[in-house]
Amino acid sequence: MNLKIYLALMPLLITACGGNDDAGKTTPMSSLPVNSALVSVSQVVGVGKIEPENEITSLAASTGGVVKEIYKNDGDSVKKDEPVVRLDDELELIRASQLRSQFNAQKSQLDIEKLNLQDAEARLANKGRL
């Protein structure tokens, strides 16, 4: 009789002591479902890939930056010289303004130097007449 009880309890005991391999593991945050209505996204960072349909095409931006507007979606066709995205150009506009200011300052300095040279030549000419 005891043997029958032991034989009946052995599978239960083995199953109870077996444990679960997933017990100590946590689920990564990226695989959890997210309700988009409750999450506000302020910035998305990622790398994109554009694949040509027929032949290899050279495609590049002269500078990197933050995408401000997206003009094309997945599966849209793109013609030559047609923009795909627009980058935020605020920093480039500031740099251009600074360079314009530096150019104007150097041009003004050159004009001052020319006037000083003309004045010095005029003084030398006046001394020679005396």
pLDDT tens track for 46-82:
666 666 667 776 666 677 778 888 888 888 888 888 8
Q: Where are the beta strands (DSSP E) in 1-130?
A: 67-70, 85-87
pLDDT band for position 87 (50/70/90)? confident
pLDDT band for position 128 (50/70/90)? confident
Give 73-81's long-range contacts (Cβ < 8 A, gap of 24+): 77/53
In this prediction the pTM is: 0.40
Lowest mean pLDDT among 10-14, 24-28, 36-40, 43-47: 24-28
Picking from 91, 84, 40, the residue whose alpha carbon sits closest to that of residue 61 is 84
Q: What angle do CA 59, 60, 65 make, to 5 degrees?
A: 145
pLDDT, residue 54, reads 74
pLDDT, residue 4, reads 65
**Distance in angstroms (rounded) separating the CA atoms of residues 3 and 32:** 49
Greater confidence (18 vs 109) lies with 109
Picking from 90, 44, 95, 91, the residue whose alpha carbon sits closest to that of residue 70 is 44
pLDDT band for position 112 (50/70/90)? very high
pLDDT, residue 111, reads 96
Q: Any residues with CB less than 8 A from the CB of 71 and at least 6 apart, and which?
A: 82, 83, 84, 85, 86
